[in-house]
Amino acid sequence: MTASTLQGPLTDDELDRINAYWRAANYLTVGQIYLLDNPLLREPLTAEHIKPRLLGHWGTSPGLNMVYAHANRQIVRRDLDAIYVIGPGHGGPAIVANTWLEGTYSELYPSVSRDEAGMRRLFKQFSFPGGIPSHVAPEVPGSIHEGGELGYSLMHAYGAAFDNPDLTVFCVVGDGEAETGPLATSWLSNVFLNPQRDGAVLPILHLNGWKIANPTMLARIGDDDLLSLLKGWGYEPIVVEGDDPLLVHQALAAAMDKCLDTIAEIQRYAREGNDGTRARWPMIVFRTPKGWTGPRTVDGNRVEGTFRAHQVPLSDPGGNPEHLRQLDEWLRSYGPEDLFDEKGSPTAGFDDLHPRGARRMSANPHANGGELLRDLVLPDFRDYAVEVKEPGQNLDEATRILGTWLRDVIRANLGRFRLMGPDEVASNRLQATFEATDRTWTAATTSDDDHESPDGRVMEVLSEHLCEGWLEGYLLTGRHGVFTSYEAFIHVIDSMVNQHAKWLKVTRNIPWRRPVASLNYLLSSHVWRQDHNGFSHQDPGFIDHMVNKKAEVVRVYLPPDTNTLLSTMDHCLRSRHYINVVIAGKQPAPSWLTMAEADLHCRRGLGIWEWASTDAGSSPDVVLACAGDVPTMESLAAADILRQRLPELKVRFVNVVDLMRLQPDTEHPHGLSDREFDTVFTADRPVIFAYHGYPSLIHRLTYRRTNHANLHVRGYKEEGTTTTPFDMVMLNDLDRFRLVIDVIDRVPGLAATAAHLRQEMVDEREQCRLYTRANGEDAPQVADWRWSPTDR
């Protein structure tokens, strides 16, 4: 069939040139997987030209290359501002090939020039020691989505589109990826996309039928069910399918024309004064063979169009002469002599096919979000302080007060700040934000709804995956945000934050990547105040998970009261290129520090509270240390008992806000030197440490310290149920009476002289437990306890 016999929007010349571009991208893709040398096949292919280890994924790559080429056509025709997000992340060689053809790769990596020598380096470096990974990694220009773990492409794409009215995101969803829970949820992101003020996402379901060893579900459920499913999610799907490249080029060009015309009409209608309610957005179902244009059979087995094309179709061309022959035939089938000139550069005609400058998807600043990032306008957090005349006398809901500050952050930063949470913004006491904005919602509403509108800036959906993915896409394209969640269930996104942490770590060392706003978690409804929900809601382990990440990326904060929370969140929203984990309670709790004291304390990260100490500047007998709001209250209650009952005992009280201060300065940028640590915690006195999470983490952070043998940590030890707040801390031996007992047991000489007090503490614990069992609430002496005023 000749080009002139085909019907479609492409002229014969356009069809020939776009097909040549596609062939060039395919050639470069195969070369990266296989070739160590002889990049243009200017001599017979031999085993010496083949890489010793063959890594990479061919199966998805020809489809990705074709979509990329046609996206470029649309960018040139319409002057689109567009980026490319692909779910089949293993298609890294395809995207690298396109960035090299466009010239961006050589601009950023001059040694990989657009000639034969550069092509040789391009091929050798792929999945090679000292080279680049096989995914669409941070090193790849134009990427905001590595795709190493499947399931996040569509949510990243929508996150990029929010508040980016002129941006179009071409998002390729792999049909294997479509089987994951996060991706299955992502389709309904269109419920949150407002065509008045947001950009557009064009989903392209890449239906090539196979995973690594199995068929994909969406390829086997039948067209009627598949299209009904996609329509039910709010899309108008257009099917493009076939195995004849010229026919598929015409069909894909026509489909993209129609989709982008529809998107333009949706946005025009919404922006001409009509509402931003949910539109029926277009999408493409792109069904082509897996491993298209590759070997059809290998060793007697069908490859093209099967799972065998997923990775490396010819497994041993370096040792198997038949495989080598097939590889040579495969590469030459693309006609490299027609695609590259004598120097090895792409032929001149290609330059008219792709966009120029920042319009190239590989050079678009939205894919290097730090280039677009602007500082937030932050109201002075000090203006939101609670008054503290005496420590611990007034009770405040820390996150409720924070909500008033976040309300004004939203007001001052419309279009570049969003608050996200899984149906828990009000539950976590941040409802003041609804004085400034609504929840984002473009679907149907009723009179019973509360603050739901297309123009909302608070994004709530009962999926931690979506909150995380949206926020990552939003941050990576140059904006700011906060993710609030119940502490126990933030684990749902453990693997997602792994990927983001790795992205941040790698991009710190890529000179052309610009720092992005930090990923900020506010975890409330935490382990010590989930007594009403019970054991299933009690888990502080996210901290442990995050501390495993690289030290230059992770920060963990445990503000003990309202004013320290305000100071901490201000710091986090000003920071760049970190993951900040902030854990704060939402229930009424004592405020300990004035705003001036709180700000200084947060800047130090930890410190001695003089008003709670009795060592009077001398060497203490014991150090009471704490991290977390409830552990702080219990430690202060213990200090209060010791001050009144053992007045001769010299107690030093230390509170930790920045958990990373406990590590040595050689391990973390925030860490204390050994001298500083010993100055605060002493080198030889017992330290009773009340900690918010699992005790083992404190030991892990401090195991190299001089006084580690005298460090005794109390924390959560997987004991919980539906009970009262104080019974919860007693179940885990974190209560004030247990801490007093620890002091008596650990300070030399106290065991005998304070035996009566120790027995009293044991009895107090038992009496408090009996009271809860009889009355269903905590005993008044615990529930109504306040710090005894002292001279400050």
Q: What is the pLDDT of residue 349?
A: 81
Q: What is the pLDDT of residue 608?
A: 97
The Cα–Cα gap between 369 and 131 comes to 24
The Cα–Cα gap between 431 and 403 comes to 6
Residue 554 DSSP one-character state: E
What distances in angstroms separate CA 736 from CA 173, 361, 651, 665, 688, one per listed residue?
54, 59, 15, 32, 11
Handedness of CA 488, 494, 500, 505 (dihedral sign): positive
Torsion of CA 71, 75, 78, 82, to 10 degrees: 100
Beta strands 301-302; 297-298: pairing state: antiparallel
The Cα–Cα gap between 640 and 637 comes to 5
Q: With 80 as the cut, is the pLDDT of residue 139 above it?
A: yes
The Cα–Cα gap between 529 and 537 comes to 9
Report the phi/psi class of residue 67: left, alpha or beta, with left for phi > 0 and alpha for psi in -120 to 50: alpha
The Cα–Cα gap between 511 and 502 comes to 16
- Mean pLDDT, the chain, whole residue set: 95
DSSP 3-state assignment of 746?
helix
Q: What is the pLDDT of residue 538?
A: 86
Q: In sequence order, what are the beta bridge partners of 481? A: 418
Burial-class residue 149 by CB neighbours within 10 Å (0-12, 13-18, 19+).
middle
Which of 571, 583, 558, 541 shows the shortest CA–CA distance to 720?
Answer: 541
DSSP 3-state assignment of 231?
helix
DSSP 3-state assignment of 349?
helix
Place of tokens 């030890």: 717
Q: With 70 as the cut, is the pLDDT of residue 541 above it?
A: yes
Beta strands 439-440; 452-453: pairing state: parallel
Burial-class residue 66 by CB neighbours within 10 Å (0-12, 13-18, 19+).
buried
Percent of the chain with pLDDT over 70: 99
DSSP 3-state assignment of 653?
strand
Q: Which amino acid is at 168?
A: T
Which of 620, 695, 616 shows the shortest CA–CA distance to 662?
Answer: 695
pLDDT category at 1 given cuts 50, 70, 90 is: very low
Q: What is the pLDDT of residue 5?
A: 46
Q: With 80 as the cut, is the pLDDT of residue 791 above it?
A: no
Which of 454, 471, 369, 490 shows the shortest CA–CA distance to 419?
Answer: 471
Half-sphere exposure of 150 (CA within 13 A, CB side): 16
Q: What is the pLDDT of residue 529?
A: 84
Half-sphere exposure of 726 (CA within 13 A, CB side): 26
Are 108 and 368 in contact by the 8 Å Cβ rule? The answer is no
Please state the rounded mean pLDDT for residues 572-597. Answer: 97
The Cα–Cα gap between 66 and 242 comes to 13
Q: What is the pLDDT of residue 530?
A: 81
Runs of H (alpha helix) within 5-60: 12-34
Whole-structure pTM value: 0.96
Percent of the chain with pLDDT over 90: 92
pLDDT category at 520 given cuts 50, 70, 90 is: very high
Cα angle for residues 251, 21, 33 (degrees, 5° grid) = 110
Give the tens place of pLDDT for each residue, 169-225. Answer: 999 999 999 999 999 999 999 999 999 999 999 999 999 999 989 999 999 999 999
The Cα–Cα gap between 180 and 386 comes to 46
Are 628 and 692 in contact by the 8 Å Cβ rule? The answer is yes
Give the tens place of pLDDT for each residue, 765-774. Answer: 999 999 999 9
Give the tens place of pLDDT for each residue, 296-338. Answer: 999 999 999 999 999 999 999 999 999 999 999 999 999 999 9
Q: Which of 130-134, 407-411, 514-518 has the lowest mean pLDDT?
A: 130-134
Tokens of 287: 């069904």
Q: With 90 as the cut, is the pLDDT of residue 3 above it?
A: no
Handedness of CA 677, 680, 681, 684 (dihedral sign): positive
DSSP 3-state assignment of 713?
strand
Handedness of CA 733, 734, 738, 744 (dihedral sign): positive
Q: What are phi and psi of 770, to 5 degrees?
A: -65, -35
Q: What is the pLDDT of residue 6?
A: 67
Q: What is the pLDDT of residue 202?
A: 98
The Cα–Cα gap between 411 and 299 comes to 65
Tokens of 15: 């069809």
Are 189 and 470 in contact by the 8 Å Cβ rule? The answer is yes
Please state the rounded mean pLDDT for residues 147-155. Answer: 92
Are 501 and 552 in contact by the 8 Å Cβ rule? The answer is no
Give the tens place of pLDDT for each residue, 223-250. Answer: 999 999 999 999 999 999 999 999 999 9
Q: Which amino acid is at 479?
A: R
Are 87 and 173 in contact by the 8 Å Cβ rule? The answer is yes
Q: Which amino acid is at 52?
A: P
Contacts of 271 (CB under 8 A, 6+ apart): 195, 196
Are 615 and 679 in contact by the 8 Å Cβ rule? The answer is no
pLDDT category at 789 given cuts 50, 70, 90 is: confident
b or e along 17-33 (b: 16 or more beta carbons within 10 Å of the residue's beta carbon)? bbbbbbbbbbbbbbbbb
Name the CA radius of gyration of the chain, rounded.
30
Residue 53 DSSP one-character state: S
Q: With 50 as the cut, is the pLDDT of residue 2 above it?
A: no
Which of 169, 165, 166, 124 shows the shortest CA–CA distance to 143?
Answer: 169
Q: What are phi and psi of 507, to 5 degrees?
A: -70, -20
Tokens of 577: 């290129």
**What is the layout of strands, in order, in the sheet containing 167-174?**
81-86, 167-174, 200-206, 281-287, 235-241
Q: What is the pLDDT of residue 19?
A: 97
pLDDT category at 4 given cuts 50, 70, 90 is: very low
Are 455 and 448 in contact by the 8 Å Cβ rule? The answer is no
Report the phi/psi class of residue 242: left, alpha or beta, with left for phi > 0 and alpha for psi in -120 to 50: left
Are 686 and 739 in contact by the 8 Å Cβ rule? The answer is no
Q: What is the pLDDT of residue 527?
A: 86
The Cα–Cα gap between 282 and 41 comes to 42
Are 521 and 428 in contact by the 8 Å Cβ rule? The answer is no
What distances in angstroms separate CA 662 from CA 123, 200, 253, 390, 628, one per listed residue?
46, 46, 59, 28, 14
What distances in angstroms separate CA 560 from CA 582, 592, 656, 658, 736, one per listed residue?
11, 8, 9, 11, 16
Q: Which amino acid is at 413?
A: N
